[in-house]
Structure 1
């Protein structure tokens, strides 16, 4: 995002926090409603452009937004929307992408209120691995020719009774709107959930399953490096031969046998 959109995003997130303050029940409703608004904006280009048109005063854009959505969504959601559209965005897509992020954050906030945020984070990570290991499922969820409603129904059928309702809502929105690979989207949601708990996520590929003691030792080492609590997500990859590869954000620590062999090959070259 350019500077204008970053500032606008900050103001919108402040509006979300204000709207949810003092209400444990509003977060889930607001998150779901923001996703519904995004679906409307994705379908109606003229409205999307009008709400982000910087040549029109922000107050006029906010008034238009209120006329369109008032009575259709809650007062808390309207407050977030009117604040968001009143800002000056560098690109229309930045406004819509921020509303998606706010919807995700609101739903994760609702999971935190009920003490289920850890479970949601873990489920999102595991779903990413399941989809990555199942090409047919990945194709079905990524098929852009398939109607969004059909993909939402597929997710609902697969996850019904097996995951948290917040997980289902987040996944349905990702597959219906899909702007990136499904696996990447799930990883980003898992990271967002960890950030909500003031933790960072270490994505670990290991040649064999790690014991709990090994996980704890790895988490402790990373905590000393990064100065924050670390959630360790492990994926077994026998192709590594031995050792682990750890990714934290853009940092990669390769302690695998295959990584050492590749480094040796480069050195010899």
Structure 2
């Protein structure tokens, strides 16, 4: 998001930080985001800059009063009072807030590390199982059926927050399952004021190697680094690290490619 939308999201995040996060808060925020996705008139009414701010907040009370929790209504009112570059930015913001609410709930139960690890492992399992990946992404199959499939796979094996986020990734709101899962992992890391580094290696790293690499990256970037290690047989020696839009490629293949480019002039 940019400009006014970014500032409005920040104020809504402050409102989220100021409420007691219940287990259902994330789900309610996501439900409102989905409602706005499918109701253009309501989306425009809540973001119309020509409509006074108090009128937009009053509309939230009129439509949602008694139907959602007081915490959700407070956050939605702050969001509706903001200014949005695009009417769709409001729904996107509520989606983001719903993720942050789920992460905050996990953190409050001291389950954030577990959830983060479960999200990463599930992401890798789905990526490796082509049939499962195609089924979860097949829009010809009803969303409820795909969510039920995933919920069955996770039952008794993952935290409730992980299950809810995974089922939400199936819905996607226009994003792929992988992209949604990635955004959840980023939100979990951000909760700990950390960044995610995706590390690709030919052979798994020991705990000592992981610690040294995380420490070195932390010094370089000035913040805590959460390592997501992927064993990739296509990596020929060395290690490749992706942090956001930055890539540190120390593999043998990369060094050979660079040498060939220099030889070619």
Q: Distance in 1 between matches of 2:58 and 2:247?
A: 47
Q: Which residue is 2:61 aligned to?
A: 66
What whole-Å deviation, never above 9, does each CA across 1:245-269 have from its counterpart, x for those lacking one? 0111122111111111221222222
Q: Distance in 1 between matches of 2:172 and 2:214?
A: 34
Taking structure 1 as the reference length, what is the TM-score of the superposition?
0.93
Q: Which residue is 1:170 aligned to?
A: 165
Q: Distance in 2 between matches of 1:69 and 1:192?
A: 27
What whole-Å deviation, never above 9, does each CA across 1:210-248 have from its counterpart, x for those lacking one? 111111111111111112221111001111121110111
What whole-Å deviation, never above 9, does each CA across 1:49-69 have from its counterpart, x for those lacking one? 222222211211111111111
Q: Distance in 1 between matches of 2:62 and 2:147?
A: 29
Q: Distance in 2 between matches of 1:77 and 1:67?
A: 14
Q: Which residue is 2:257 aligned to?
A: 262
Superposition CA RMSD, Å: 1.4
Q: Distance in 2 between matches of 1:211 and 1:2?
A: 41
What whole-Å deviation, never above 9, does each CA across 1:139-195 have from its counterpart, x for those lacking one? 112223332222222221121111110011112112113422322221221121011
Contact 2:240–2:249 (8 Å) recurs in 1: yes
Q: Secondary structure at the match of 2:248?
A: strand
Q: Which residue is 1:49 aligned to?
A: 44
Identify the match of residue 96 of structure 2 among 90, 95, 101. 101
Contact 1:148–1:177 (8 Å) recurs in 2: no
Gaps of 5+ in 2: none
Q: Which residue is 1:137 aligned to?
A: 132
Contact 1:246–1:254 (8 Å) recurs in 2: yes
Query: 1:28 aligned to 2:28?
Result: no
Gaps of 5+ in 1: 21-25
Q: Secondary structure at the match of 2:169?
A: helix
Q: Distance in 2 between matches of 1:215 and 1:202?
A: 11
Contact 1:129–1:183 (8 Å) recurs in 2: no
* Structure-2 change in CA distance of 1:155 and 1:2 (3 Å): same
Dislocated runs of 4+, deviation >3 Å:
none
Contact 1:142–1:178 (8 Å) recurs in 2: no
Q: Distance in 1 between matches of 2:49 and 2:141?
A: 35
Taking structure 2 as the reference length, what is the TM-score of the superposition?
0.95
Q: Which residue is 1:16 aligned to?
A: 16
Q: Distance in 2 between matches of 1:193 and 1:108?
A: 6
Query: 1:123 aligned to 2:86?
Result: no
Deviation at residue 199 of structure 1 after TM alignment: 1.5
Query: 1:39 aligned to 2:34?
Result: yes
Q: Which residue is 2:107 aligned to?
A: 112
Contact 2:34–2:91 (8 Å) recurs in 1: no
Deviation at residue 99 of structure 1 after TM alignment: 0.3
What whole-Å deviation, never above 9, does each CA across 1:100-122 have from its counterpart, x for those lacking one? 11111111111011110001111
